[in-house]
Amino acid sequence: MYRASAIGTLNGQEPMSKKILFLSALDFKEKSIQVIRKTPEAFRDAGWEVRYIVARDNLPRGNYGYEAEINPAGIRVERFAWPLARLRNTQAGRALSYVWTKIASLAVVLQLALRGAQALRREAADVIYGYEVQGVLAARLLKMVGASGGALVVHRFQGTSVTEMLEGRQRVRQLVNLDQILALRSACDLVIMTDDGTKGNEALRRVGSRAANLRFWVNGADEPKELQPTQEFRRRLGVGPDELVLVSVSRLAGWKRVDRGLAIAEELKRLGVAFVYLVVGGGSEYERLERLSRDLGIADQVIFTGPVPQSDVYDYMNAADVFISTYDMSNVGNPLLEAIRMGKLIVTLRNGATGDWITHGQSGLIYDPSQDISQVAASDIARLVRDAAWADELRKGVRAVARERLWTWRDRMNAEVSDVEMLLEK
CA 205, CA 185: separation in Å to the nearest integer? Answer: 9
What is the structure's pLDDT at 8? 42
Q: Are residues 128 and 254 in the same domain?
A: no
Dmax of the chain from CA atoms?
A: 77
Residue 385: inside a domain = yes
Amino acid letter for position 11: N
What is the structure's pLDDT at 32? 66
CA 234, CA 341: separation in Å to the nearest integer? Answer: 20
Between vectors from CA 164 to CA 159 and to CA 166, what angle results, nearest 5°? 115
Which uninterrupted H or E stretch holds 43?
helix 35-45
CATH classification at residue 312: 3.40.50.2000
Domain containing 93 equals 4-220+408-425
Strand partners, 248: 279
Nearest by Cα to 109 from 137, 87, 131, 71:
137
8 Å CB contact between 361 and 417: no
CA 110, CA 134: separation in Å to the nearest integer? Answer: 9
Cα end-to-end distance, the chain, whole Å:
9
Q: Are residues 204 and 272 in the same domain?
A: no
Q: Are residues 398 and 414 in the same domain?
A: no
Q: Are residues 392 and 415 in the same domain?
A: no
Q: Are residues 118 and 259 in the same domain?
A: no
Q: Are residues 395 and 420 in the same domain?
A: no
What is the structure's pLDDT at 311? 85
CA 132, CA 36: separation in Å to the nearest integer? Answer: 10
Residue 105: inside a domain = yes
Residue 225: inside a domain = no
Nearest by Cα to 304 from 290, 292, 283, 325:
290
Q: What's the total number of domains in the chain?
A: 2
CA 261, CA 201: separation in Å to the nearest integer? Answer: 30
> For residue 133, how far is the Cα from the chain centroid?
14
CA 144, CA 153: separation in Å to the nearest integer? Answer: 12
Q: Are residues 106 and 182 in the same domain?
A: yes
What is the structure's pLDDT at 381? 98
8 Å CB contact between 184 and 195: no
Nearest by Cα to 219 from 202, 196, 185:
196
Q: What backbone torsions phi and psi does residue 77 show, to the nearest 5 degrees? A: -105, 130
What is the structure's pLDDT at 30? 81
What is the structure's pLDDT at 66? 72
Q: Are residues 314 and 174 in the same domain?
A: no
Which uninterrupted H or E stretch holds 280?
strand 275-280
Q: Are residues 69 and 192 in the same domain?
A: yes
Residue 309: inside a domain = yes
Q: What is the pLDDT along the chain (426 residues), one digit of tens a residue?
A: 344 343 344 444 555 789 999 999 999 988 666 789 999 999 999 999 999 999 999 887 767 777 789 999 999 999 999 999 888 887 667 788 889 999 999 999 999 999 999 999 999 999 999 999 999 999 999 999 999 999 999 999 999 999 999 999 999 999 999 999 999 999 999 999 999 999 999 999 999 999 999 999 999 999 998 899 999 999 999 999 899 999 999 999 999 999 999 999 999 999 999 999 999 999 889 999 999 999 999 999 999 999 998 889 999 999 999 999 999 988 999 999 999 999 999 999 999 889 999 999 999 999 999 999 999 999 999 999 999 999 999 999 999 999 999 999 999 999 999 999 999 998
Q: Are residues 56 and 177 in the same domain?
A: yes
The pTM of this model reads 0.89
Q: Are residues 216 and 237 in the same domain?
A: no
CA distances 108 to 67, 116, 292, Å, are 20, 12, 36
CA 296, CA 235: separation in Å to the nearest integer? Answer: 25
Q: Are residues 234 and 355 in the same domain?
A: yes
What is the structure's pLDDT at 14? 52
